[in-house]
């Protein structure tokens, strides 16, 4: 990894809006947030906020409008299927105050898909071709019904295997910034023991974000120290100092990139 040049690193941010009664009811454990976060990291985009909201139009409108104004990109998951509770496309149209109709290219993709499958392309399934005016389609190699992009908002399916495929389609469209780099040190000591020195180190390296996460494994207390920065050189310097501190304290530790 080359160092950032001396100018201010370009920070590109994102929010994710998870549209899903099934997550809020506790019925389904979300798996999409971590996947999106990791994909975005790879292209230099920092996920800064996640909202999980119910399948209610006004909630979707409010969350999307807030997030699209605050962050570089917004990714939504859920609510683009054929049933009455799939209201994401209409809600996005409402958020942008644009009209929505059956999209010719989406209709073509779905017509062919159902022809080949020998399944009736009924009115409910045609709902999946409803795309807000001005949006471009996001390819869905798994089940064909497309997602879409409108300005900085990307609308994806909620089913993880489909969402992951859509995310792959989207990644080349994104303009990333400085890549957040991360190093983790797992130390065999309680975080209360390292807390003061870590706080001092944080003050010394304000552009390196330092997180401390205690763990309990087989009766042992330990701490994962996670240092993150878009400035590779400062990150390395901070890690060196932390290693010195831990060594002086007699802690056992592992450094993982």
Q: Does 34 bind a second copy (CB under 8 A)?
A: yes
**Neighbour tally for 169: CB within 10 Å:** 18
Binding a second copy by CB under 8 A: which of 26, 118, 172, 250? 26
Rank residues 36 and 109 by Cβ distance to a second copy and give the closer one.
36
| Closer residue to a second copy, CB minimum distance, 79 or 132 | 79
Work out the end-to-end distance of the chain between its first and last CA atoms, rounded to an integer number of angstroms: 12
Binding residue for a second copy (CB under 8 A) from 7, 69, 172, 196?
196
- Taking CB under 8 A as the criterion, which residues in 204-223 touch a second copy? 209-216
**Shorter beta-carbon distance to a second copy: residue 134 or 199:** 199
Q: Tokens in use for 37? A: 């976060």
Structure tokens at 242: 């932390």
Residue 2 or 25 having the CB closest to a second copy: 25
Alpha carbon dihedral 21, 24, 29, 32, in 10-degree steps, equals 70
φ, ψ (nearest 5 deg) of residue 28: -120, 135
Tell me how crowded residue 3 is: count the other CB atoms within 10 A of its CB. Answer: 10
141 binds a second copy (CB under 8 A): no
Site for a second copy (CB under 8 A): which residue of 3, 112, 122, 233? Answer: 122
- List 9, 82, 176, 186, residue binding a second copy (CB under 8 A): 82
* Segment near a second copy (CB under 8 A); pick from 99-107, 166-174, 182-190, 238-246: 182-190
Buried b / exposed e across 87-124, counting CB within 10 Å, b at 16+? bbbbbbbbbbeeebeebeebbebbeebbeeeeeebeee
When asked if residue 178 is in the footprint of a second copy (CB under 8 A), the reply is no
Question: Judged by CB under 8 A, which of 191, 231, 236, 241 binds a second copy?
Answer: 191
User: How far is residue 207 from each of residues 25, 92, 183, 201, 238, measured CA to CA in Å?
Assistant: 38, 36, 14, 11, 10
What span, in angstroms and rounded, lies between the C-alpha atoms of 184 and 234? Answer: 15
Q: Which residues contact a second copy (rule: CB under 8 A)?
A: 18, 21-31, 33-38, 40-41, 46-55, 59, 81-86, 119-120, 122-125, 127, 159, 161, 180, 182, 184, 190-196, 198-199, 202, 209-216, 226, 228
């Amino acid at each position: 990894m080359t160092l950032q040049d001396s100018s201010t690193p370009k920070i590109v941010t994102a929010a994710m809006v998870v549209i899903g009664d099934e997550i809020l009811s506790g019925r389904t454990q979300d798996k999409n947030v971590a996947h999106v976060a990791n994909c975005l990291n790879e292209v230099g985009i920092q996920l800064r906020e996640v909202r999980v909201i119910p399948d209610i139009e006004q909630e979707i409108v409010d969350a999307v409008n807030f997030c699209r104004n605050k962050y570089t990109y917004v990714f939504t998951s859920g609510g683009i299927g054929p049933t009455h509770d799939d209201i994401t496309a209409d809600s996005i149209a409402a958020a942008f105050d644009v009209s929505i109709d059956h999209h010719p290219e989406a209709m073509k993709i779905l017509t062919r898909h159902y022809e080949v499958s020998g399944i009736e392309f009924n009115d409910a399934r045609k709902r999946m071709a409803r795309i807000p005016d001005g949006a471009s389609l996001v390819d869905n190699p798994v089940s064909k019904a497309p997602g879409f992009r409108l300005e900085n908002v990307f609308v994806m399916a909620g089913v993880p295997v489909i969402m992951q495929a859509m995310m792959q389609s989207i990644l080349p469209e994104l303009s990333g910034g400085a890549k957040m780099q991360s190093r983790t040190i797992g130390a065999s000591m309680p975080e209360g023991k390292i807390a003061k020195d870590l706080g001092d180190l944080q003050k010394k390296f304000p552009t390196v974000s330092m997180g401390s996460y205690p763990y309990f494994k087989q009766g042992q207390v330990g701490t994962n120290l996670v240092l993150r920065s878009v400035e590779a050189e400062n990150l390395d310097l901070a890690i060196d100092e932390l290693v010195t501190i831990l060594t002086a304290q007699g802690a056992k530790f592992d450094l993982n990139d």
